[in-house]
Amino acid sequence: MFKQIRPAISLLAVMTLLAGVVYPLAVTAVAQLAFPAQANGSLLRNAQGEVLGSALLAQPFEGKQWFQPRPSAADYATVASGASNLAASNPALAERIAKDAQGLYREDQGAVPMQLLTTSGSGLDPHLSPVAAEYQLARVAAARGIAPASLKRLIEQHVERPLVGPAVVNVLALNLALADNSSLVKTE
């Protein structure tokens, strides 16, 4: 009987070593060599090297002086990330969207972009369309006393055009640039 079990145990040991140790180490090594920033979480750092966040995860920003990301059903917590699971026909979703739209609406700008009202599938999407970022431009410019044209240029500098899909703006990167940018023209 041991003659029949020994090959099975040997194969189990070899496959465990290959699939559980060699393969993960090889993939990690290739990732670190080919894509070190992405393999380490796409972290964004300040001038002192302190980690401020990840370019892959949305963060909340308090105050009118910041661009706001999409709403998060999980309050931007990575552990509890996910969609709200509210159907389009659910009155609670309609009420939340109507309330948020009322708070964001500016008569001179028209309808609020849906990205500023609806959560993403993960609840942690760090990107907005350029239109959704520009919708917030007047509010941020007024709160900071910055010329809107100067702020619009900053948004345009942060537009990413992926190989597939529409152009997007990373809200965290935009806000970090806004915090660091002394070249923005102040309004008088």
pLDDT in the model for residue 185 = 63
The DSSP 8-state label assigned to residue 20 in this structure reads I
Mean pLDDT for all residues in the chain? 87
The DSSP 8-state label assigned to residue 56 in this structure reads T
Of 183 and 27, which is predicted with more confidence?
A: 27
pLDDT at residue 183 is higher than 60: no
Spatial separation of the C-alpha atoms in residues 159 and 184, rounded to whole Å: 17
pLDDT in the model for residue 18 = 97
First to last CA, the chain: 90
The DSSP 8-state label assigned to residue 154 in this structure reads H
Spatial separation of the C-alpha atoms in residues 8 and 14, rounded to whole Å: 10
Q: How confident is the model at residue 182 (pLDDT cuts 50, 70, 90)?
A: low
Contact residues for 100 (Cβ-Cβ < 8 A; gap 6+): 71, 112, 116, 117
Please say whether the beta carbons of 67 and 174 come within 8 A: yes
Judged by DSSP in three states, 55 sits in coil
Q: How confident is the model at residue 167 (pLDDT cuts 50, 70, 90)?
A: very high
Could you tell me the pTM of the whole model? 0.75
Task: Tell me the β-bridge partners of 169.
Answer: 128, 159
pLDDT at residue 14 is higher than 80: yes
pLDDT at residue 1 is higher than 80: no
pLDDT tens digits for 108-135?
A: 888 889 888 888 877 788 899 999 999 9
pLDDT tens digits for 47-89?
A: 788 888 888 888 888 889 999 998 887 777 777 666 667 788 8
52 C-beta neighbours (distance < 10 Å), count = 14
Please say whether the beta carbons of 184 and 146 come within 8 A: yes
pLDDT at residue 184 is higher than 80: no
Lowest mean pLDDT among 25-34, 96-105, 165-174: 96-105
